[in-house]
Structure 1
């Protein structure tokens, strides 16, 4: 399985969690890591190159820190430019060119996990906060898999090992639709 990790972290020099995860993932075979902020320093996205990367991958991982309860702005700009409907539906008989691929998220956050519960500080789960990516996966015709979430104070060595193991699986668990 060819996996591409699209890392959308605006400040990897100061990252503890994402840097550790990427180091661990980089030790696996068939994984390509693309640091999007390093590649797109001027925020000019090479759309043709990005589409080619997606077409060659079996699994797409969007990795980012949770900032203001969402993904960094470059990820949204990247999606707006790369996920053009004409390109997306250029598969056989108008099907999605990404049909059958897997999409998962790797999200690091710094607030306690209990804050992201129905009874917690924010009243919403991370799954609910990230719901827009599930809808995007439906539109793209790809499988939306369970996100890999990391609370910043987790045991990073153990978490990085679990991340690498997850990436090495032939198939990831699919996120149940409309699951709270």
Structure 2
């Protein structure tokens, strides 16, 4: 999967959230990181080339005044045409959005009175107009309050959102982790990483055996009737 991450943030160098995500994304093959600014939004030839080269397009931004930052819509105005559905069709569009408060506030009857789905619906309409496949949005809430363990979890979830088909099954998550660990072990020759890899593989094998046993039991029960 080749993924283009288009980052719209008015003060990106001051954003701990975007710096964290950037550090993760730029280290992995198949992911292109594009920060929007006055220069990049006007480089139409390069932008359209990137859109054609990548199968998954990600719009990434903080929610500002209940919408994406204006620079994203300016980039769309300059770089996308309605007739582009001829080659954008069947590409995937994902949305990574970070908010500074709890997600539970964004629903009918809560403090913000609107759901995130309704606030992000203009981008959903764009995907529909261009015949793109809209992925479920990826939400990051209150990043500044996350501890190290939660940041590690976010790192894995974020990379899998960029890399894996949606929706992601538990088995696909397991295989993804094993694949990543194998690459790290090959490069680093780290004994501790090898032990972690061995443990993950062992746990997956045990889970697969348990699933097979449950399947056989169910088949046996069904054959009794």
TM range (shorter): 0.7 to 0.9
- Aligned residue among 95, 98, 101 for 1:111: 101
User: 1: CA distance between counterparts of 2:10 and 2:155?
Assistant: 20
TM-score of the aligned structures, taking structure 1 as reference length:
0.84
User: 2: CA distance between counterparts of 1:44 and 1:125?
Assistant: 29
How far apart are 1:99 and its partner, in Å? 1.1
5+ residue gaps in structure 2?
A: 169-225
The match for 1:93 is: none
For 1:1-180, what aligned pairs fall within 5 Å after superposition? 1-37=1-37, 40-41=38-39, 45-86=42-83, 88-89=84-85, 96-152=86-142, 153-154=145-146, 155-169=150-164, 171-173=165-167
TM-score of the aligned structures, taking structure 2 as reference length:
0.68
User: 1: CA distance between counterparts of 2:71 and 2:109?
Assistant: 32
Which structure is higher in helix share? 2
Cα–Cα, structure 1 residues 44 and 138, in superposed 2: closer, same or farther, change >3 Å? Answer: closer
How far apart are 1:44 and its partner, in Å? 5.5
User: What are the superposed Cα offsets for residues 15-56 of structure 1, whole Å, 9 maximum, x if unpaired?
Assistant: 11121122112222100001112xx34x75122221111011
- The alignment covers a number of residue pairs equal to 163
- Match of 1:97, SS state, is helix
User: 2: CA distance between counterparts of 1:149 and 1:26?
Assistant: 20
User: What are the superposed Cα offsets for residues 97-151 of structure 1, whole Å, 9 maximum, x if unpaired?
Assistant: 1011000010011022111022211121111110111100000111000111100
Question: Is contact 1:28–1:168 with CA below 8 Å preserved after alignment?
Answer: no
